[in-house]
Chains A and B, each alone.
Chain A
Amino acid sequence: MRIAVVGMGVIGKRLAAAIALQPDMTLTGVAVRSVGVGVLAHRQLPFHADTPEAAAELREFGIEPAGDLDDLLANADLVIDAGQGGTGAGRFPRYQRTGLISVFCGGETDPRLGPMVHPALNYARAIGSRSIRLPSCNTTALGRLIAAAGPSDVGEVEAAVLRCVTDTDKADKGITNGTTFDIRASHHGRDLEAMVEGVRVRVRAAGVPSICGHVALVQLRLRRPEAETVAQRIARTRRVAILAPDQRHDTGQIKAHVYRTTARGDRYELAVQLAVDDAQTITAWIALDNEAITVPEAVDVMRASAGGTAADQVRDITDAALLRPSIHSTEAMEDCVA
């Protein structure tokens, strides 16, 4: 499958790297509107200029564009759009004209861009759809936890998300020394309810100055008194690393652990600290790498959209290429204590 990537920001550059690792995918090129860190650090990639200004800027930095966006789309089977949030709808008509399957990252809100798909929750919606939206990082993480628990066993989910809001490209989302908060429900609950029927999800969010990933306190209320069984199931689920329940943890330690073991410090696994409160209630702290956690599910969805592959098989291929369980597995993260 030939893949075109649009955008070389936080998500785009990670997608480009992930696609290059997949045995059944080829990175056709990356379309950009400007030259940033991701472009300059990966100058060898075939960059396509989305605008004449972008072409001039690429040349200014000694990078000859491989073509424009139309050239890129003409040589691809699927386009994954990792452009700035909320801008995908403007490019959608161009994708439609080419007949390509389009996948939009980052929780685009416009329903005309297709159904929102989390492959562990509503895999079937990816089959046959010509355009698909992927959930945001927190929705991906919460969805992973609900899927791990077993959606049919979960009745209600309440979560408080602590977003780190002062990272490289998010400095304008938060404040330097303080927490922003809002009692109104965030989009995560609505997005999850659209993907998993019969589960009530309420999420509220706050923003804290940090660069070490998002954290959420999640309470799962189960339909039946089998919390111990569900907790064990969560611990056995792929892409989940269980943190010791009897320790204090911090996201700095987790980030440092990942920096010690990977070149860019990307963590695809969801770190989870579990507590069984009573027979029908599980509480979990989850810690996610907001810049990387959506990548495995994005690769799943791209592969699923081609059709003909079962969900588990799709995830097996992704994980074999992308995840190194020996590094960020439950056992390996035992040193992530405060």
Chain B
Amino acid sequence: MTELYLAGRWPLADVLAECTRRRDVRLATGDPTGRPCLRHGTDDVAVLLPDGAALADAVLAAALASIGRCLTPGPAAVLGTVLRPASGLCGPARNGPVDAVRTGYVTRLDGQPLTFRAACRVLDVQHTRCWVANLSFTGTGRSAFAPGGEVTVLPPVIARDTARTSQYMLDCGEGFHWRSVVLAGPPVSEEDGGVTTLALFTEAHYVHALLDAWLRPAAPEPAARGVGA
């Protein structure tokens, strides 16, 4: 069995534990102090994991990249408004006071894993189920959308609210941190050739992408920079 070793305090440690359990990968944890890093059980070289704003960007970028791969031709850019959930079911509401929306910040993303530019307003909300992103993709021509990979389209009866969506994913055995990016109904093609969609996802989408890259047969090159940042 593959074994990974997580050191440091990483906000997504619980999600990583759930994702590795689903992949039959053993996850060992060590010293919870210091910067979070991940290594193969027998490797000496550890890879730094993103934290703070870089982690939020990495989670968002993973979802945007997956949706972008469903568009042909690929988009040139995406503009979005993103509702980032409070910090899970547990603990204090790190992302703002109760019954409030924190007005957040604008993040601009470029480069891997994206093949297009992204500018998103990220709002922190007192909500624990998933991220919600209203996205407008633009390109050089009329894009066609074909779901695939880790992107699925749910019928409106399920995607009517995040409670139903997360309940559906739980019923399907996907867990509280589900892997797919879920689109609330088919994307809408705009007259200017762009595509608008509402996407729901959890941090597990990013963590699985991280594990996909990390657990490829060929060992990844040791990197000094953060993963997925």
Contact = CB atoms under 8 A, between A and B. Distances in A.
A41 B168 contact: yes
A37 B175 contact: no
B213 interface: no
A116 interface: no
Nearest to B154: A40
Contact of B172 (A41, A176, A250): A41
Contact of A177 (B91, B99, B170): B99
A259 B128 CA distance: 13
A13 B173 CA distance: 13
Contacts of A38: 171
B69 to A, nearest CB: 26
Interface in A235-273: 250, 252-253, 255-256, 259-260, 263-265
A86 interface: no
A265 B176 contact: yes
Contact of A263 (B155, B157, B170): B170
Contact of A260 (B17, B168, B172): B17
Contact of B176 (A168, A253, A259): A259
Interface in A33-89: 35-38, 40-42, 61
Most chain B C-beta atoms within 10 Å of own C-beta, residue among A176, A211, A250: A211
A211 B157 CA distance: 20
Contacts of A252: 88-91
A287 interface: no
B157 A36 contact: yes
A264 B14 contact: no
B14 A40 contact: no
Contact of A264 (B98, B155, B171, B177): B171
B114 interface: no
Interface residues of A, number: 26
A256 B129 CA distance: 12
B163 interface: yes
Contact of A41 (B89, B90, B163, B171): B171
A117 interface: no
B158 interface: yes
Which of B90, B99, B164 has the most CB atoms of chain A within a 10 A radius of its CB? B90
A260 B89 contact: no
B89 A255 contact: yes
B171 A13 contact: yes
B157 A40 contact: yes
A204 B158 CA distance: 35
A264 B99 contact: no
B173 A37 contact: no
A216 B81 CA distance: 40
A166 to B, nearest CB: 9
B158 A264 contact: no
A61 B155 contact: yes
A107 B53 CA distance: 49
Interface in B146-167: 155, 157-158, 163-164, 167
B203 interface: no
B103 to A, nearest CB: 19
A167 B176 CA distance: 15
A148 interface: no
Nearest to A168: B163
Contact of A40 (B17, B99, B158): B158
Contacts of B163: 167-168, 171, 211
B18 interface: yes
A250 B171 contact: no
Interface in A1-48: 13, 35-38, 40-42
A259 B173 CA distance: 11
Contacts of A253: 89-90
B200 to A, nearest CB: 14
Nearest to A170: B163
A293 interface: no
Given A35-B157, A212-B89, A168 B164 contact: yes
B171 to A, nearest CB: 3
A336 B157 CA distance: 34
Interface string B1-32: 00000000000001001100100000000000
Nearest to B166: A168
Minimum-distance CB pairs A-B, first 4: A41-B171, A259-B176, A252-B89, A168-B163
Given A252-B91, A260-B14, A265-B176, 18 more contacts: A35-B157, A36-B157, A40-B157, A41-B171, A41-B172, A61-B155, A211-B163, A212-B89, A252-B90, A256-B89, A256-B90, A259-B176, A259-B177, A263-B170, A263-B173, A263-B174, A264-B171, A265-B175
